[in-house]
Structure 1
């Protein structure tokens, strides 16, 4: 019988998914010390299959380090219908695959009872991206958020209703890159260009309908123009379904 050496791999899987010992123990319904013991003693044999399914890895790989690592399919929900997310402060757990990153959604919403809006997090929405996409662009998961593209000012590159991902750590303007900005409470997606004297040019991809906008430093302050971050990913759905010939 092959020796159970699963402890270090089990610990590495939790760390890769940003799952704490306490969070996993709470989901599992046990004490944190019991889970901590698995790091050195290994996952108990009678728990191996269940833990492997939960972490979406093959049980043989988890146990011995041999064979194929990845499970053929993602893990099913827990028996009580919950999903595991150790970062969820509300305690309604949802499992996050180690290869994924879950990003919060931000949206433009009315401010009190006035006509003004502001940009805040939407607690009911989130999206998962492959961690490899962020790693490739050196985007830290904690700096990334998502939002919806509203309107056709960036068509045909980013269509109305697309989801965009934003790196909040990159707010310095690199000419010609796409950024998300909050403009007097509005959420806008634009190409940005620096102008002499610390001015700013906003440019739309659909320039035929949306001409350039140029703002002087005083206007940037007066109109509360704030760069939220660099747009590094977006989803765009095709405008039409292709017609299959000869049917």
Structure 2
């Protein structure tokens, strides 16, 4: 089983006494069902660390095997008391510490990380901001390659507000592809609108118009702009938001 999709299907359909449905796994991992569908179809070839551990725990398989195909499929180690260990105790995956002086791995790149990207909106200074930003995030070249994202177009920033809740929460890290600015209906984009930096779902309207939609529709009604209003209100698409990293608060 060379791919994540093959291993995941095996763990869901062959190993358990009863087949595990995608909806059940999505609920256990804490993601939406389309994410599981992407893993099973091979559209997403990797899982983020926390998602991987939760999926492995729910499926009672070795997270290293699920991620790479290496090692035992199921963990059957015993503690000194003869009881089964929790899956997180059984397989400890080492985490490397690093700082700005740590050399990049062969499969790593650094991308600009903005704690506040809003200052670049409305001033035509996004390119200048990219050149001047010193904070960086590290990520795998393979991740960008799988999404066909050019490294020079990859940036990340911290989200603010609750207009896209529950999809994007206040303080989440959003990853933006500056090279994708053509509206694909329903996708989430980073935009500048009247000098404000926002994350919104976009839809095309006739005659060059745009429909701007928040996931929190109760507090943030959708907006329709004509082609002329797009110009008048300084509406600009910064890029496609392709990844959202959520950190839970205690």
Supply the distance in 1 between the matched residues of 2:225 and 2:98 (Cα, whole angstroms).
52
Identify unmatched segments of 5+ residues in structure 2: 1-93
Conserved in 2, the CA contact under 8 Å of 1:108 and 1:118? Answer: no
The count of aligned residue pairs is 152
Identify unmatched segments of 5+ residues in structure 1: 1-71, 84-93, 242-247
Conserved in 1, the CA contact under 8 Å of 2:112 and 2:134? Answer: no
DSSP-derived class of the 2:105 partner: coil
Supply the distance in 2 between the matched residues of 1:73 and 1:232 (Cα, whole angstroms).
25
Structure label with greater radius of gyration:
1
Supply the distance in 1 between the matched residues of 2:120 and 2:203 (Cα, whole angstroms).
29
Supply the distance in 1 between the matched residues of 2:95 and 2:173 (Cα, whole angstroms).
26
Indicate the structure with greater helix content.
2
Query: Which residue of the other structure, out of 135, 156, 160, is the alignment partner of 1:150?
Result: 160
Supply the distance in 2 between the matched residues of 1:232 and 1:105 (Cα, whole angstroms).
15
Deviations 1:62-94 (A, max 9, x none): xxxxxxxxxx875977xxxx72xxxxxxxxxx5
Query: Which residue of the other structure, out of 133, 137, 150, is the alignment partner of 2:143?
Result: 133
Using the TM superposition, give the Cα deviation of residue 222 of structure 1 relative to its aligned residue in structure 2, in angstroms.
0.8
197 and 209 in structure 1: CA distance in 2 versus 1, 3 angstrom threshold: same
Supply the distance in 1 between the matched residues of 2:193 and 2:222 (Cα, whole angstroms).
15
101 and 163 in structure 1: CA distance in 2 versus 1, 3 angstrom threshold: same
Paired residues for 1:20-31 under 5 Å = none
Query: Which residue of the other structure, out of 173, 184, 187, is the alignment partner of 2:183?
Result: 173
Match of 1:12 in 2: none
Query: Which residue of the other structure, out of 111, 119, 135, is the alignment partner of 1:103?
Result: 111
Q: TM-score, normalised by structure 2?
A: 0.54
96 and 220 in structure 1: CA distance in 2 versus 1, 3 angstrom threshold: same
1:220 is aligned to 2:230: yes
Indicate the structure with greater strand content.
1
Please identify, of 203-212 and 171-180, the stretch whose mean Cα deviation from structure 2 is larger: 203-212
DSSP-derived class of the 1:142 partner: helix
Deviations 1:82-141 (A, max 9, x none): 72xxxxxxxxxx522222221113412289xxxx89753462422112222211111111
187 and 118 in structure 1: CA distance in 2 versus 1, 3 angstrom threshold: farther
Conserved in 2, the CA contact under 8 Å of 1:101 and 1:131? Answer: yes
76 and 185 in structure 1: CA distance in 2 versus 1, 3 angstrom threshold: closer
Supply the distance in 2 between the matched residues of 1:227 and 1:110 (Cα, whole angstroms).
13
Conserved in 2, the CA contact under 8 Å of 1:168 and 1:229? Answer: yes
Supply the distance in 1 between the matched residues of 2:108 and 2:160 (Cα, whole angstroms).
26
RMSD: 2.8
